[in-house]
Amino acid sequence: MAEAMTSTTYVYDASDVAMGRLASVVAKQLLSAHRAGRDDRAIIINCEQAIVSGRPESVLAEYHRRYELNHPRKGPFFPRMPDLILKRSVRGMLPYQKKSTGRAAFKALRVEIGCPSHLSGDELPEGHERAVSASLERGLPERFIRLGDISESLGAPAHRWNGGEA
């Protein structure tokens, strides 16, 4: 029998990266790894620094409209925290509701506010590697808003990613 393959954990940095573009790259990587039988995982760090392009007023209006759809107990539940918003956007790009492959791929995703101490610096732990995608390397658009600002506008506790500043 063949030797078991080691799993790789890809680390994506969301700083100054378009949220939708990042979500689609991560979803594709997780789904293709799961379908190929690999146990690859993905970690997205600095999610509060991801950007959403468009006029800030219209982007905030759209997120407020989505958030106000819910009923506190019945749903639909729309997240306020930046890590959960980004995770939800990746989930939307997977066949999460229809197939078990989408759910299994989604379980291999972790999204972090800020950068955990073991992932900061140039040296990553064994089995981890920085994910580089040419489609993510673009300049900032003319009009955009950061995911942390959207979350703060929705009422999330911003001190979690602002370093204690309210």
This prediction's pTM: 0.89
CATH 3.40.50.720, applies to 18-158: no
Residues 110, 90: Cα–Cα separation, whole Å: 11
Amino acid letter at 155? G
Q: How confident is the model at residue 10 (pLDDT cuts 50, 70, 90)?
A: very high
List, for residues 17-65, the tens digit of each pLDDT value: 999 999 999 999 999 999 999 999 999 999 999 999 999 999 999 999 9
Q: How confident is the model at residue 4 (pLDDT cuts 50, 70, 90)?
A: low
List, for residues 132-153, the tens digit of each pLDDT value: 877 888 888 999 999 999 999 9
Structure letter (DSSP) for residue 18: B
Structure letter (DSSP) for residue 105: H
